[in-house]
């Protein structure tokens, strides 16, 4: 039977696939260490359970309002006021089943067939496939030569009359790099000059380390208010990946349409999970800080271990929980007689030989790299990195 061209072209999420593969090997009794999917290893804060239990006891089992329960939309509105000083009306907010579908819904709301969306590579796997799923065209601006920060001139050169949006993610998955004030102003100016949307995915905005500071573009350029759709959620910040709650906010004109789309797609996110998300946003700031401190300590640990390994290099991540490692010096060399031609072969050989799972950079439009997620315990980091080192030392 026929399958659509759209769906024939889709590739499964490489990040989730790495974890699935690691899970299979573990089920066979193999001692795999996975640095695959970016998922906090912590259990959700107690407030998630307390609020979810109460919601169940109170029988909150009916369809929620499509854009989210009013209490949660109010809380998100208050959060943006508190954290960034930004006035966001609850009516501008749509809560959905994770940040991932909110990006898809936002793309569906602004992209017509053949419209171009600019991605700044290395970039997250799901953006690429989601743009294709709405029949948009992915236009890639590479940032490898500019330390993973976009070059404004190169970005502007990529803009055509078909460009609809630039999709931005800071702190970045997969590099951990953050965009500073100047670059945000520059990108904002491009959006104004060429009348573009900005999709601003700040899912890692609370996971920022050391002296680094996260800005929302509207703090710097209020004039972007009519052209920016913000994506955020509780998955990463509060270790809530399995509850599947994320949200988007932006100008009413587009958010009303996203809400209409969602009314046909999911009828809104699970009501019990929305109450759980409300619980952590109201009460779990201290838990979040503790998790962030743990990520910061793991970042130092893993960067210290990687820094003394042969053949590789990496920029120190400023946020999120990834290290993006350049392995180009390992390619076209051999590991125990096996030629490693690209990052995909490197990752496969590493998994086979040392039972260490990492994601190849190709999945993020960055061949010659690999992504390591350090959202895992310190013992696993130590053991996994010692295996990686042993692997690298065998490359001739
Ligand atoms: N954006 C980025 C950059 C991500 O890494 C993720 C990871 N899952 C998401 C969005 C989606 O998060 P979720 O759907 O779990 O809210
Ligand atoms: N976003 C995380 C990652 O990139 C989780 C997996 C996924 O959603 O693809 O690994």
* Nearest atom, ligand 1, residue 241 CA: 15
- pLDDT single digits (tens) 279-295: 999 999 999 999 999 99
* Nearest atom, ligand 1, residue 201 CA: 1
Q: Which of 283, 299, 320 is the last residue of a domain?
A: 283
Q: Which of 14-28, 208-222, 255-269, 306-320 has the lowest mean pLDDT?
A: 14-28
Model confidence at 13, pLDDT cuts 50, 70, 90, reads confident
| Whether 14 contacts 37, CB under 8 Å | no
3-class secondary structure, 338: strand
- Say whether pLDDT at 206 is over 90: yes
Q: Are 189 and 218 contained in the same domain?
A: yes
3-class secondary structure, 165: strand
Q: Are 260 and 290 contained in the same domain?
A: no
Query: What one-character DSSP code corresponds to residue 119?
Result: E
Predicted pLDDT of residue 301: 98
Q: Are 238 and 337 contained in the same domain?
A: no
Long-range contacts of 17-20 (CB under 8 A, 24+ apart): 18/347, 18/357, 18/358, 18/359, 19/357
- Say whether pLDDT at 17 is over 90: no
CA–chain centroid gap for 367, Å, is: 19
What is the whole-number distance in angstroms between the Cα of residue 99 and the centre of ligand 1?
A: 5
- For residue 133, the domain's CATH number is 3.40.640.10
Predicted pLDDT of residue 35: 95
- pLDDT single digits (tens) 111-163: 999 999 999 999 999 999 999 999 999 999 999 999 999 999 999 999 999 99
Q: Are 74 and 101 contained in the same domain?
A: yes
Model confidence at 21, pLDDT cuts 50, 70, 90, reads confident
Please state, in angstroms and rounded to a whole number, the distance separating the CA atoms of residues 104 and 127: 8
Q: Are 179 and 295 contained in the same domain?
A: no
Predicted pLDDT of residue 377: 93
**Does the Cβ of 100 fall within 6 Å of ligand 1?**
yes
Q: Which of 226, 256, 283 is the last residue of a domain?
A: 283
Q: Are 68 and 139 contained in the same domain?
A: yes
- For residue 312, the domain's CATH number is 3.90.1150.10
Using CA positions, which residue lies closest to atom 3 of ligand 2?
A: 38
What is the whole-number distance in angstroms between the Cα of residue 276 and the centre of ligand 2?
A: 21
* Residue from 12, 173, 237 whose mutation best tests the ligand 2 pocket (most atoms within 8 A of CB): 173
Going by DSSP bridges, is the β-strand pair 322-326/369-373 parallel, antiparallel, or unpaired?
antiparallel
Domain that holds residue 197: 46-283
- Say whether pLDDT at 218 is over 90: yes
Q: Are 254 and 295 contained in the same domain?
A: no
**Does the Cβ of 376 fall within 6 Å of ligand 1?**
no
Helices (H), ranges, 161-200: 181-193
Q: Are 236 and 329 contained in the same domain?
A: no
Q: Are 64 and 151 contained in the same domain?
A: yes
**Does the Cβ of 273 fall within 6 Å of ligand 1?**
no
Please state, in angstroms and rounded to a whole number, the distance separating the CA atoms of residues 318 and 322: 9
Going by DSSP bridges, is the β-strand pair 228-233/246-249 parallel, antiparallel, or unpaired?
antiparallel
Q: Tell me the C-alpha to C-alpha distance, in Å, between residue 206 and each of 5, 235, 337, 351.
A: 39, 11, 44, 31
Predicted pLDDT of residue 62: 97
Q: Give me the half-sphere count of Cα atoms (radius 13 Å) on the Cβ side of residue 70.
A: 0
Q: What is the dihedral of CA 66, 138, 119, 106, to 10 degrees?
A: -10
| Whether 151 contacts 142, CB under 8 Å | no
* Residue from 10, 13, 234, 324 whose mutation best tests the ligand 2 pocket (most atoms within 8 A of CB): 13
Q: Which of 25-39, 42-56, 76-90, 267-281 has the lowest mean pLDDT?
A: 25-39
- pLDDT single digits (tens) 161-205: 999 999 999 999 999 999 999 999 999 999 999 999 999 999 999
| Whether 262 contacts 231, CB under 8 Å | no
Joined together, the tokens standing for residue 323 give: 């290290």
Quick one: average pLDDT of 381-395? 98
| % of the chain residues with pLDDT over 90 | 94
Ligand 2: which residues within 6 Å by Cβ?
13, 15-16, 37-39, 100, 124, 126, 173
- Say whether pLDDT at 16 is over 90: no
* Residue from 22, 126, 361 whose mutation best tests the ligand 2 pocket (most atoms within 8 A of CB): 126
CA-nearest of 245, 185, 227, 206 to 79 is 206
Q: Domain count of the chain?
A: 2
Q: Are 229 and 296 contained in the same domain?
A: no
Ligand sitting nearest the alpha carbon of 34: 2
Quick one: average pLDDT of 34-54? 95
Predicted pLDDT of residue 11: 84
Angle at 261 between CA 257 and CA 262, to 5 degrees: 115
Q: Are 66 and 163 contained in the same domain?
A: yes
Q: Which of 283, 312, 327 is the last residue of a domain?
A: 283
Quick one: average pLDDT of 342-353? 94
Q: Are 101 and 59 contained in the same domain?
A: yes
What is the whole-number distance in angstroms between the Cα of residue 98 and the centre of ligand 1?
A: 7
**Does the Cβ of 203 fall within 6 Å of ligand 1?**
yes
């Amino acid at each position: 039977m026929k399958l659509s061209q759209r769906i024939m072209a889709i590739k499964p999420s490489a990040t989730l696939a790495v974890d699935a593969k690691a899970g299979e090997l573990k089920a066979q009794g193999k001692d795999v260490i996975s640095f695959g999917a970016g998922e906090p290893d912590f259990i959700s804060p107690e407030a998630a359970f307390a609020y979810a239990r109460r919601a169940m006891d109170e029988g909150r089992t009916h369809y929620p309002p499509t854009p989210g329960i009013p209490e949660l939309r109010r809380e998100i509105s208050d959060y943006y006021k508190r954290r960034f000083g930004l006035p966001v009306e609850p009516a501008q907010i749509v809560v959905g089943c994770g940040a991932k579908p909110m990006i898809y819904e936002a793309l569906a709301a602004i992209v017509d067939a053949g419209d171009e969306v600019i991605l700044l590579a290395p970039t997250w796997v799901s953006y690429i496939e989601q743009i294709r799923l709405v029949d948009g065209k992915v236009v890639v601006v590479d940032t490898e030569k500019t330390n993973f920060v976009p070059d404004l001139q190169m970005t502007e050169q990529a803009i055509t009359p078909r460009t609809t949006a630039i999709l931005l993610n800071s702190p970045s998955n997969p590099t951990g790099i953050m965009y500073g004030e100047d670059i945000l102003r520059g990108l904002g100016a491009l959006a104004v000059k060429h009348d573009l949307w900005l999709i601003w995915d700040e899912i890692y905005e609370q996971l920022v380390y050391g002296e680094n500071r996260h800005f929302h573009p509207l703090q710097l350029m209020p004039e972007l208010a009519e052209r920016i759709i913000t994506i955020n959620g509780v998955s990463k910040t509060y270790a809530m990946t399995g509850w599947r709650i994320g949200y988007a906010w932006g100008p009413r004109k587009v958010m009303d349409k996203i809400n209409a789309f969602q009314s046909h797609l999911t009828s809104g996110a699970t009501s019990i999970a929305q109450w759980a998300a409300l619980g952590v946003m109201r009460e779990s700031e201290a838990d979040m800080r503790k998790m962030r401190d743990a990520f910061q300590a793991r970042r130092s640990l893993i960067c210290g271990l990687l820094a003394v390994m042969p053949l590789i290099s990496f920029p120190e991540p400023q946020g999120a929980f990834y290290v993006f490692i350049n392995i180009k010096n390992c390619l076209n060399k051999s590991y125990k007689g096996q030629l490693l031609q690209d990052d995909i072969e490197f990752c496969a050989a590493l998994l086979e030989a040392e039972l260490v799972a990492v994601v190849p950079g190709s999945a993020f439009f960055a061949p010659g790299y690999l992504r390591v997620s350090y959202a895992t315990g310190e013992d696993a980091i130590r053991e996994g990195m010692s295996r990686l080192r042993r692997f690298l030392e065998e490359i001739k």
